[in-house]
């Protein structure tokens, strides 16, 4: 009896906490949504209203009927999905090595991988750009994909190493005893139990490739290679600002990401890894 | 090879012949793609940047001259640089600590068994929202929200918290805190998601054992959850530290480093050197100084990790 | 130059190229093929990077390009549009890695570093080679006697006043002198809560508030911030007069709150929403205003001048400039395109579509169907002297940023106007 009351009190408190957090997280986005339906002038009107007389779907229509802007979305998907796949494979191999092997230069390589992230990208812009041009990767998907793989790799490796470190070594030992090689241990034993970690790293990788602007702009030249963030920025010009379309395009860009997350979030269910370890 | 890794030890013990040749090269083979990419596309540009920093002025000057460490002397003696370093530290430390706290809090709430089904899915979706927008849009959005005639001031003056609208981003006293809040908002989902994933790896029998021992929720958190998450928390805090020191777009597009340099951080300082005054050598120098400082952090982290895996 | 320096310099360059070559070689091995070489066809394709297309009605710039291509069947012009806010860093980076498009849209604040990079083609040579008569050009921007940028379209910055707000404050006509302007701004701010007299953006993201809203006051009254092309701020009566007036308006709360964080675009959004009575803003924003609030009645007039000033009024101008990449293989064709853009009819069409005024003296904008304010403004423009002293200056953005930062200190009472100008002068001198 007592347990049940304390449980329902706990649930009420939890819902209150979750709601407060949801306001912090969601209100600005709600405002973005509301702005995407307003006219460019009334976005800045006072007093601010969630919905006003200028409500229209015009901004969405002008984004969705523009084949160039649709092209930006397609490019963003091609780049982001490729980056997730390439980064995950390379990072898993590296993380496996860092977590399960001892070899020379291990510490040096780790320090370098972590350290290189600390250089402000803006200062790397000119030399990096020069290298990409030299490689003939200017204005190509491959150039952008390679760039984001390099950007996301350090994080993916560090986090995957941390996840693999947290998995009991008895797992690989058992498989080794059964005669499995390193690759079998990685792909058949470790990967299946680190799905939550992989999902979170994959989401991060996708997000970085999806939202990056500076290099996306620098490394591409024509509309058929440009990504959504560049398209959004093109709506904020010198004299001409399409505020509602900026908001609409951001909202449109976020929906697929949200759907993707909702599909994968079911992997965040307590005890999955624990159960796998036991079996 | 002084191997202390149990996996390697076991492997050597059970399959001595097979490991001998293939095994010795295996780690190098697996790490090769990473090394190649990081070397070619990160280390090389960084080396070029280090090269830039030793010249009097590259890019705009067609005949740059070698000046040794003169740029380093100049930048380390520049009070504006140290002002930027100070602001960066405040911005970064507050951001990382609050990211961590909010991240753990939200992850625990979203992982709780008391909420499930549709409500949990909805909350999870709302909570990652801030993460899925590009930084320049986040900046535009928050400029709109924080404007004197924007919705935040409107709500605060209407309910009587404020007498008068405050230009949050334009007031020296509130500007740095405001950009920090924006950064916290846009960055916490990353912590939350990683911790949420990490929580799945905590074996549930540990909680049961703790409960049998009579541990309350708080005790369970400190004796089971936190120790299990420690490697992830360490890694994320480190990464967030390195990334936040470089946050550029959010600050640049909201305050441009002002008012009176109150939000000038190392990244905006460096940008201004590069693209406002076209001193690319000086900008490179500033970048290298940050790099060196970060390498110390990285070395500390790797040592820590090594110790943790050995113990 | 000492021998030692020359050697070390050469070694430095060698090191750079060695690294670049090594990197390219290493990465080419990983399976990335090089870019294709251009075919030896007769036809020439020119690339043209600009931020103009997104500013104009959809497809308008492409139409102009198409009609050029019709006249020159062997030349194709490929438009590359980039966001204005990032184009400066993009152009500099492209110049540094040798990928600058053949024709480049230029802003007056970043033509100087590109020239120093050696990235721009000498347009005087191009004009000579084409035997072009440059007397039609309203202005040219250059260094040591040669032209490197030609302003194609000019945007003027008149005074916009909201008729209703002025009437409510008991003001019958837009101010014409500094003291009238000051008095009116204060009157408006006191007459109605939630409405300010003027809007002055002092944010440093894009520091052009310095030219648009502070120094423009001095320029309008015949003042200058330079002498012999060098900064001349200390003891400059026109500049300190302008600084004092703006400072006084900020401190007496006659301007929109939060000036330190405002950007140029905030002027028009606040004007449309009736929160400010007056602004100095680009004429191009007339469309934004009429679209935002078709019922808003407003007047466009010349920027007020110093009391007692009788000379020709200066009118703040910003330009869409154009130049050619020094690395282009098709300088002749590139010039043909520029010449086409500058020709009487095309230039008139282009500037009308852009809501600006032509860079060709003989062109007149087409006012049919245009907002009547354009015609009023063109009348003022013809009687004024277009001015923007930051065009072509070294590190113009840095000059403006340091001016703004010192100005913000002066407004906060941390330093007096003379001290402020002395500090700015010292910082500016380092850039020249």
For B194-246, the three-class secondary structure string (H helix, E strand, C coil) is HHHHHHHCCCHHHHHHHHHCCCCHHHHHHHHHHHHHHHHHHHHHHHHHHHHCC
- C226 CB-contact burial (10 Å; exposed 0-12 / middle 13-18 / buried 19+): middle
B254: how many CB neighbours lie within 10 A of its CB? 28
Single out the residue of C275, C281, C348 nearest to residue A239, CA to CA.
C281
Rounded CA separation C422/C418 (Å): 6
| pLDDT band (50, 70, 90) for residue B309 | low
Amino acid B21: pLDDT: 58
Amino acid B117: pLDDT: 81
Q: What is the rounded average pLDDT of the residues A103-120? A: 84
Rounded CA separation C142/C146 (Å): 5
Amino acid B15: pLDDT: 42
Q: Is C276 helix (H, G, I), strand (E, B) or coil?
A: strand
Q: What is the rounded average pLDDT of the residues B26-41? A: 91
Ranking A267-271, B136-140, C260-264 by mean pLDDT, the lowest is A267-271
Report CB contact under 8 Å: B66, C11.
Answer: yes
- Note whether A54 contacts C: Cβ–Cβ < 8 A: no
Share of chain B above pLDDT 90, in %: 49
- Note whether A61 contacts C: Cβ–Cβ < 8 A: no
Report CB contact under 8 Å: A233, C51.
Answer: no
Amino acid C6: pLDDT: 43
Q: What is the rounded average pLDDT of the residues B91-103? A: 95
> Which range has highest mean pLDDT (A175-179, B18-22, B40-44)?
B40-44
Q: Which of B36, B55, B171 sits opposite C30 (nearest CB)?
A: B36
Rounded CA separation A93/A99 (Å): 10
pTM: 0.88
Q: What is the rounded average pLDDT of the residues A28-56? A: 92
pLDDT at B18 over 80: no
Measured between beta carbons, the chain B residues lying within 8 angstroms of C26 are 36, 39-40
Amino acid A124: pLDDT: 87
**Tell me: the pLDDT tens digits for B173-185?**
999 999 999 999 9
Amino acid B60: pLDDT: 76
pLDDT at A162 over 70: yes
Ranking A178-192, A216-230, C141-155 by mean pLDDT, the lowest is A178-192
Q: Which residue has the tokens 């070694």?
A: C11
| pLDDT band (50, 70, 90) for residue B307 | confident
Kindly identify which residue of chain C lies nearest to residue B257, measuring between CA atoms.
Answer: C204
Q: Which residues 52-71 on chain A approach chain B with CB closer than 8 angstroms? A: none
> Which range has highest mean pLDDT (A72-76, B21-25, B193-197)?
A72-76
Q: What is the rounded average pLDDT of the residues A216-237? A: 91
Angle formed at CA B61 by CA B59 and CA B64, multiple of 5 degrees? 95
Angle between helical axes of B226-244 and B172-200 (0-180°, round to 10): 140
Under 8 Å between Cβ of C325 and C120? yes
Report CB contact under 8 Å: C269, A221.
Answer: no
Residues of chain C where predicted confidence (pLDDT) is lower than 50: 1-41
**Tell me: the pLDDT tens digits for C23-36?**
444 444 443 333 33
Joined tokens for residue A89: 């494979």
Q: Is C42 helix (H, G, I), strand (E, B) or coil?
A: coil
Report CB contact under 8 Å: A270, B267.
Answer: no
Tally of residues, chain C? 432
What residues of B are in the C interface, CB distance below 8 Å? 36, 39-41, 44, 47-48, 51, 54-55, 59-66, 143, 147-149, 165, 167, 169-172, 175, 252-261, 272, 274-278
Measured between beta carbons, the chain C residues lying within 8 angstroms of B283 are none
Amino acid B296: pLDDT: 86
- C401 CB-contact burial (10 Å; exposed 0-12 / middle 13-18 / buried 19+): buried
> Between the CA of residue B276 and those of C112, C206, C394, C404, what are the distances in Å?
12, 10, 10, 13
At residue C35, what are phi and psi to the nearest 5 degrees?
Answer: -70, 155
Amino acid A277: pLDDT: 38
Query: Which ipTM value was assigned to this complex?
Result: 0.86
| pLDDT band (50, 70, 90) for residue A10 | confident
């Amino acid at each position: 009896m007592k347990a049940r009351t304390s449980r329902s009190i706990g649930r009420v408190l939890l819902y209150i906490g979750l709601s407060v957090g949801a306001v912090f997280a969601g209100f600005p986005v709600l405002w973005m949504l509301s702005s995407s339906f307003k006219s460019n002038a009334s976005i800045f009107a006072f007093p601010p209203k969630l919905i006003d007389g200028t409500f229209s779907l015009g901004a969405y229509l002008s984004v969705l009927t523009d084949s160039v802007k649709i092209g930006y979305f397609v490019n963003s998907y091609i780049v982001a999905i490729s980056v997730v796949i390439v980064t995950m494979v390379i990072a898993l191999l590296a993380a496996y090595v860092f977590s399960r092997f001892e070899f020379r230069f291990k510490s040096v390589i780790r320090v370098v991988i972590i350290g290189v992230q600390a250089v402000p990208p803006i200062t790397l812009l000119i030399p990096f750009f020069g290298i990409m041009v030299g490689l003939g990767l200017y204005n190509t998907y491959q150039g952008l994909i390679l760039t984001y793989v390099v950007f996301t790799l350090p994080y993916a490796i560090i986090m995957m190493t941390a996840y693999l470190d947290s998995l009991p070594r008895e797992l690989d030992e058992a498989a080794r005893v059964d005669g499995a090689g390193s690759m079998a241990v990685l792909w058949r034993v470790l990967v299946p139990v680190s799905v939550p970690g992989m999902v979170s790293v994959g989401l991060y990788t996708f997000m970085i490739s999806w939202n990056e602007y500076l290099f996306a702009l620098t490394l591409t030249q024509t509309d058929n290679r440009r990504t959504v963030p560049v398209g959004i920025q093109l709506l904020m010009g010198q004299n001409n600002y399409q505020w509602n379309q900026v908001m609409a395009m951001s909202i449109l860009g976020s929906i697929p990401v949200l759907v993707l997350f909702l599909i994968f979030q079911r992997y965040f269910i307590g005890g999955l890894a624990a159960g796998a370890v036991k079996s | 090879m002084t191997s202390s890794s149990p996996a390697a030890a076991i492997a050597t013990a059970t399959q001595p012949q097979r490991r001998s040749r293939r095994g010795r090269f295996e780690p190098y083979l697996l790490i090769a793609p990473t090394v190649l990419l990081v070397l070619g596309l990160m280390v090389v540009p960084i080396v070029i940047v280090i090269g830039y920093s030793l010249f009097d002025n590259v890019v705009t000057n067609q005949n740059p001259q070698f000046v040794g460490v003169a740029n380093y002397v100049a930048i380390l003696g520049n009070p504006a640089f140290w002002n930027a370093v100070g602001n960066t530290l405040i911005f970064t430390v507050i951001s990382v600590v609050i990211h961590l706290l909010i991240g753990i809090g939200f992850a625990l709430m979203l992982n709780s068994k008391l909420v499930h089904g549709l409500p949990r899915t909805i909350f999870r979706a709302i909570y990652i929202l801030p993460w899925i927008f590009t930084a320049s849009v986040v900046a535009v959005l928050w400029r709109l929200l924080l404007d004197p005639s924007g919705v935040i001031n409107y709500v605060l003056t209407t309910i009587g918290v404020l007498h008068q609208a405050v230009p949050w981003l334009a007031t020296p006293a509130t500007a740095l805190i405001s950009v920090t809040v924006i950064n916290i908002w846009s960055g916490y989902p990353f912590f939350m998601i990683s911790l949420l994933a990490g929580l799945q790896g905590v074996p549930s029998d540990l909680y049961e054992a703790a409960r049998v021992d009579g541990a309350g929720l708080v005790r369970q958190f400190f004796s089971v959850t936190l120790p299990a998450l420690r490697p992830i928390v360490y890694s994320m805090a480190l990464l967030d530290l390195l990334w936040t020191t470089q946050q550029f777009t959010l600050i640049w597009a909201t305050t441009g480093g002002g008012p009176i340099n109150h939000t000038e951080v190392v990244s905006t300082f460096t940008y201004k050197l590069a693209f406002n005054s076209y001193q690319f050598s000086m900008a490179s120098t500033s970048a290298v100084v940050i790099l060196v400082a970060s390498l110390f952090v990285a070395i500390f982290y790797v040592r820590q990790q090594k110790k943790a895996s050995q113990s | 130059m000492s021998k030692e320096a020359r050697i070390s310099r050469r070694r430095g360059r060698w090191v750079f190229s060695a690294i670049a070559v090594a990197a390219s070689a290493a990465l080419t091995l990983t399976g990335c093929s090089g870019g294709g070489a251009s075919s030896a066809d007769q036809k020439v394709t020119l690339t043209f990077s600009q931020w103009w297309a997104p500013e104009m009605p959809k497809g308008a710039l492409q139409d102009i390009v198409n009609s050029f291509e019709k006249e020159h069947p062997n030349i194709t012009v490929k438009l590359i549009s980039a966001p204005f806010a990032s184009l400066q860093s993009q152009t500099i980076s492209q110049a540094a890695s040798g990928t600058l498009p053949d024709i480049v849209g230029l802003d007056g604040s970043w033509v100087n570093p590109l020239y120093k990079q050696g990235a721009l083609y000498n347009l005087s040579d191009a004009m000579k080679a084409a035997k072009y008569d440059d007397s039609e050009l309203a202005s040219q921007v250059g260094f040591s006697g040669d032209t490197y940028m030609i302003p194609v379209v000019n945007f003027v910055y008149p005074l916009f006043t909201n008729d209703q707000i002025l009437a409510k404050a008991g003001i019958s006509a837009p101010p014409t002198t500094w003291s009238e302007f000051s008095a009116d701004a204060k009157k408006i701010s006191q007459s109605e809560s939630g409405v300010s007299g003027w809007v002055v953006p002092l944010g440093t993201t894009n520091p052009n508030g310095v030219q648009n809203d502070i120094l423009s006051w001095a320029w309008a009254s015949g003042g200058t911030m330079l002498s012999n092309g060098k900064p001349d701020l200390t003891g400059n009566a026109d500049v300190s007069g302008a600084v004092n007036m703006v400072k006084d308006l900020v401190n007496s709360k006659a301007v929109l709150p939060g000036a330190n964080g405002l950007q140029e675009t905030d002027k028009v959004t606040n004007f449309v929403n009736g929160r400010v009575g007056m602004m100095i803003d680009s004429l191009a924003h007339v469309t934004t205003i009429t679209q935002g609030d078709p019922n808003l009645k407003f007047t466009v007039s010349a920027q007020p001048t110093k009391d007692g000033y009788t000379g020709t009024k200066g009118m703040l101008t910003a330009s869409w400039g154009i130049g050619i990449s020094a690395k282009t293989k098709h300088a002749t064709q590139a010039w043909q395109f520029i010449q086409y853009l500058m020709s009487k009819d095309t230039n008139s069409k282009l500037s009308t579509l852009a809501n600006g005024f032509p860079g060709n003296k003989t062109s007149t904008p087409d006012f049919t169907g245009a907002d009547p304010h354009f015609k009023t403004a063109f009348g003022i423009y013809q009687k004024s002297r277009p001015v923007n002293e930051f065009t072509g200056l070294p590190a113009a953005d840095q000059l403006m940023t340091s001016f703004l930062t010192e100005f913000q200190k002066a407004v906060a009472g941390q330093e007096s106007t003379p001290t402020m100008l002395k500090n700015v002068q010292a910082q500016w001198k380092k850039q020249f």
